[in-house]
Structure 1
């Protein structure tokens, strides 16, 4: 995923695709703090273990389908996750093998 910060070069963060995650992106607290994404609001969320938590939501600018797009980033977890909100209107193909390709194509 390519991120765009004001007055800085674009940079890439590798994400894990999580088809059970219905939001856009999540990043660990340390990454959100380091990148300085602006806080927007707190959101109630139900996690995979069925626990309910309140998560901070931040805004980030990304490059998606060669266009700049503003998305919500949930501040949570230990690794970057890409959720199904970004996959809407896309085809996801995964080769389930070590080193297999993952492709995301706009429909």
Structure 2
């Protein structure tokens, strides 16, 4: 079982261990975003620090209805005690956990929620 907290901004957050294929890891606190259908978003500086491999680009729709292009990287997270390989979107925001990671962690499926 995983536990989170509500931060001072009234956001539900969860602590994750994120790493690369060389076992380099970092502990992050991420906001759970029910409007985000991806797995995990990280700021560029975290992606660089972990030397995450680039896998491509994808388009996504933001909360205001506009579309954006995101660089996508490969990462490993420790989710409920198990390692999972997931795609990570590069963003200019604080880390976000999306519904696909919550779904994959619950149902052991890599199927995204979109």
Normalised to the residue count of structure 2, the TM-score between the two structures is 0.71
Stretches of structure 1 lacking an aligned partner (at least 5 in a row): 91-107
Superposed CA RMSD in Å reads 1.5
Aligned length: 89
**Contact 1:24–1:84 (Cα < 8 Å) also in 2:** yes
Matched, 1:40 2:55: yes
Match of 1:64 among 56, 74, 79: 79
Q: Which runs of 4+ in 1 moved over 3 A?
A: none
Stretches of structure 2 lacking an aligned partner (at least 5 in a row): 1-15, 107-114
Alpha-carbon distance in structure 2 between the residues aligned to 1:72 and 1:61: 9
Matched, 1:18 2:33: yes
Structure 1 residues 66 and 41: alpha-carbon distance in aligned structure 2, compared to 1, 3 A threshold: same
Structure 1 residues 4 and 28: alpha-carbon distance in aligned structure 2, compared to 1, 3 A threshold: closer
**Contact 2:41–2:97 (Cα < 8 Å) also in 1:** yes
2:42 match? 27
Q: How does 1:65-84 map to 2 (within 5 A)?
A: 65-84=80-99
3-state secondary structure, aligned to 2:36: coil
Normalised to the residue count of structure 1, the TM-score between the two structures is 0.75
Rg: which structure is higher? Answer: 1
Query: 1:21-80 CA distances to partner (integer Å, 9 max, x unpaired)?
Result: 011000111211221110001001111111111110000011112111100100013200
